[in-house]
């Protein structure tokens, strides 16, 4: 749908990145003697002359690093639309490239200085990040100056269509939603952005100059969808279909080929036994070192809470975990004591009557609590939940039992995998998106699960926490 940059710019980016990688390798080799003069670092070997590296490394290093970025879709103009997404992809690419290149050196040129390699990897990662910031700013300025926007018409003003519009509006600078078409006369009377019935699609595309049509119709509208497609196929407009299968896609949806016939398996297991084992192993090896560094911070946070509002320091609460099991959820206390008894005084609802339980100006939040929430430090005790196995690092957010009682049947599908400390919803809205809209993001995570997606979400969480978006 949105292409942040053209194929030409993607090729340009590859060349710039390759040149930067080679240049940083040469620069770190030339500057290696300066590192020997750093005081307090006795483990650095004294080298008085610039290091002369084999020429083949100036070819291999850019080739390997760029290949990994290609594999992770860094150069795909339709991906990494947000700066957080792009920086997360670059971070993951840098980690994989560092490991790959270190292995390459171990198998070939073992005499290369480890300090040289580490400074090269870090400086290259920073250089790849830095040049993209002005490139993004220039792109946005150019689009504003030229008034470039893709004009999109959505067919279907139901739940799916409205969700599509909500997501598209996050990219207002690149996309203009013309409006909706829907055959429901009642909806047309109540909503000004519904421009007519589905039969008016061809006329509106020509009048409004639509670049793209999105069909977000329910399954029962298959016949109308076919008729609309027939009337549009000769027009120069892109057509995309949003499958409305949330209500019957329980777990992961796999596309199978049966004698040339594509079939969608919507009841495939959410996680295979191997995936579950890898996920648990990943949780343990990541959580243990994090806890070592987090324990001193947790001690300081505990002291701050104690001095600000007294005990208790920890907040314990029943939450619903995988397969509906109840477990005790731990966080640092960020609200006044007995805040749960005041819950109904701050509970609100949106325009559709859906409950909203989190507010930016919640009077129950303490001074220290506001700071902890801003930097997500209140979440640190949950690493003990992860270590115990009642939670995972990544997964749907564990919900409170009284909220789960209000769930519709389709929303309970989010408990098909371990609940997580962070997840797809948290990096795409956090508290900015109310509870009743979390589940679509959770189902997306379940249907697209992989260990690489977990790593990507963890990296994006780091950038999201730094920005503080939706943290309250």
Q: What is the CA radius of gyration of the chain?
A: 26
- Global pTM value: 0.56
CB hemisphere CA count around 138 (13 angstroms): 7
Q: Which of 172, 168, 175, 171 is nearest to 150 (CA)?
A: 175
**C-alpha span between 239 and 252 (Å, rounded):** 25
What pLDDT does residue 250 have? Answer: 45
What pLDDT does residue 18 have? Answer: 94
In 3-state terms, what secondary structure has residue 372? helix
What pLDDT does residue 66 have? Answer: 93
User: Which residue segments constitute the domains of the chain, with CATH numbers given?
Assistant: 7-140 (no CATH), 149-244 (3.40.50.720), 273-467 (no CATH)
* DSSP letter for each residue of 432-448: GS-GGGHHHHHHHHHHT
Number of neighbouring beta carbons within 10 Å of residue 443: 24
What pLDDT does residue 433 have? Answer: 53
Peptide linkage before 312 cis (omega within 30 of 0): yes
Tens place of pLDDT per residue across the chain (472 aa): 556 666 778 888 899 999 999 999 999 888 766 665 554 555 556 666 667 788 888 999 999 999 999 888 888 877 777 777 788 888 889 999 999 998 888 887 777 777 788 889 999 999 999 998 888 888 777 767 776 678 889 888 888 888 888 878 877 777 888 889 888 888 888 888 888 888 888 888 888 888 888 888 877 777 778 888 888 877 888 888 876 655 554 445 566 665 566 666 655 556 777 788 889 989 999 999 999 999 999 999 999 999 888 888 998 889 988 888 899 999 998 888 776 666 666 666 555 555 555 566 677 888 888 888 888 888 999 999 999 989 999 998 888 888 888 887 777 778 888 899 998 887 875 555 555 456 777 877 887 788 888 988 898 888 888 776 655 5
Burial of 373 (0-12, 13-18, 19+ CB in 10 A): buried
**C-alpha span between 458 and 198 (Å, rounded):** 42
**C-alpha span between 276 and 282 (Å, rounded):** 10
Backbone φ and ψ of 286, nearest 5°:
-85, -40
What pLDDT does residue 2 have? Answer: 58
């Amino acid at each position: 749908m949105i292409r942040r940059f053209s194929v030409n710019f993607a090729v340009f980016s590859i060349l710039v990145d390759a040149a930067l990688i080679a240049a940083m390798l040469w620069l770190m080799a030339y500057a290696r003697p300066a590192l020997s003069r750093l005081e307090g670092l006795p483990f650095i070997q004294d080298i008085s002359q610039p290091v002369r590296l084999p020429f083949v490394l100036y070819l291999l290093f850019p080739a390997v690093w760029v290949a990994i970025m290609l594999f992770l879709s860094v150069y795909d103009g339709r991906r990494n639309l947000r700066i957080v997404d792009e920086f997360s992809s670059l971070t993951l690419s840098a980690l994989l490239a560092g490991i790959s290149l270190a292995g390459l050196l171990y198998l070939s040129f073992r005499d290369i200085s480890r300090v040289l390699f580490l400074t090269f990897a870090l400086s290259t990662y920073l250089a790849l990040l830095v040049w993209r910031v002005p490139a993004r700013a220039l792109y946005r300025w150019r689009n504003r100056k030229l008034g470039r926007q893709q004009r999109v018409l959505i067919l279907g003003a139901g739940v799916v269509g409205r969700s599509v519009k909500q997501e598209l509006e996050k990219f207002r600078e690149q996309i203009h939603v013309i409006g909706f078409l829907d055959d429901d006369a009642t909806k047309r009377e109540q909503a000004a952005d519904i421009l007519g019935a589905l039969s008016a699609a061809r006329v509106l595309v020509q009048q409004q100059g639509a670049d793209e049509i999105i069909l977000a119709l329910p399954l029962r509208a298959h016949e109308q969808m076919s008729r609309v497609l027939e009337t549009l196929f000769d027009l120069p407009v892109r057509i995309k279909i949003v499958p409305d299968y949330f209500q019957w896609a329980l777990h992961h949806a796999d596309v199978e080929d049966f004698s040339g016939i594509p079939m969608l398996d919507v009841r495939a297991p959410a996680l295979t036994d191997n995936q579950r084992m890898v996920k648990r192993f990943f949780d343990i090896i990541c959580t243990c070192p994090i806890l070592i560094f987090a324990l001193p911070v947790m001690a300081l946070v505990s002291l701050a809470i104690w001095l600000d509002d007294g005990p208790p320091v920890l907040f314990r609460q029943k939450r619903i975990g995988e397969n509906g099991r109840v477990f005790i959820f731990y966080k640092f206390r960020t609200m006044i004591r007995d805040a749960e008894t005041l819950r109904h005084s701050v509970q609100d609802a949106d325009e559709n009557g859906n409950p909203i339980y989190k507010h930016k100006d919640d009077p129950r939040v303490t001074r220290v609590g506001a700071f902890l929430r801003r930097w997500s430090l209140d979440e640190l005790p949950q690493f003990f939940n992860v270590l115990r196995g009642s939670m995972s690092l990544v997964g749907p957010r564990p919900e409170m039992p009284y909220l789960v009682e209000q769930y519709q049947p389709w929303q309970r599908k989010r408990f098909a995998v371990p609940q997580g400390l962070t997840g797809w919803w948290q990096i795409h809205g956090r508290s900015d998106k109310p509870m009743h809209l979390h589940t679509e993001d959770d189902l997306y995570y379940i249907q697209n699960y992989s260990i690489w997606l977990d790593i990507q979400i963890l990296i994006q969480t780091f950038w999201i926490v730094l920005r503080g978006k939706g943290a309250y």
